[in-house]
Amino acid sequence: MNTACKLEEGYARLTAPPAVPAVGDGSQGAVPMLSTAGAAPAGPAQAGAGGNQSIVARNEQVAAIERPATGNAALDSYTYGFRLWDAKFYPEAQAQLQATVDKYGKDPIASRAQNLLGRAYLDDDKSATAAKILYENYRVRPNGDRAAESLAWVGEALIRLNRLKDACLAYDELAEKFGSGLAANVREMMTKGRVRAKCGA
| Contact residues for 123 (Cβ-Cβ < 8 A; gap 6+) | 85, 88, 90
> Would 193 be classed as within a structural domain?
yes
> Would 88 be classed as within a structural domain?
yes
pLDDT, position 201: 66
Q: Domain tally for the chain?
A: 1
| Contact residues for 133 (Cβ-Cβ < 8 A; gap 6+) | 17, 114, 117, 118, 121
Provide the residue type at 46 as one letter: Q
pLDDT, position 5: 60
pLDDT per residue over 9-57, tens digit each?
666 655 444 333 333 444 444 554 444 333 333 344 444 556 688 899 9
pLDDT, position 14: 56
pLDDT, position 6: 63
The list of the chain residues with pLDDT below 70 reads 1-51, 201
Find the domain containing 167 and state its range.
3-15+49-197
> Would 68 be classed as within a structural domain?
yes
> Would 138 be classed as within a structural domain?
yes
User: How far is CA 69 from each of CA 10, 73, 176, rounded to the nearest angstrom?
Assistant: 40, 8, 40
For residue 170, give the CATH number of its domain.
1.25.40.10
pLDDT, position 141: 97
> Would 141 be classed as within a structural domain?
yes
| Contact residues for 89 (Cβ-Cβ < 8 A; gap 6+) | 58, 61, 62, 65
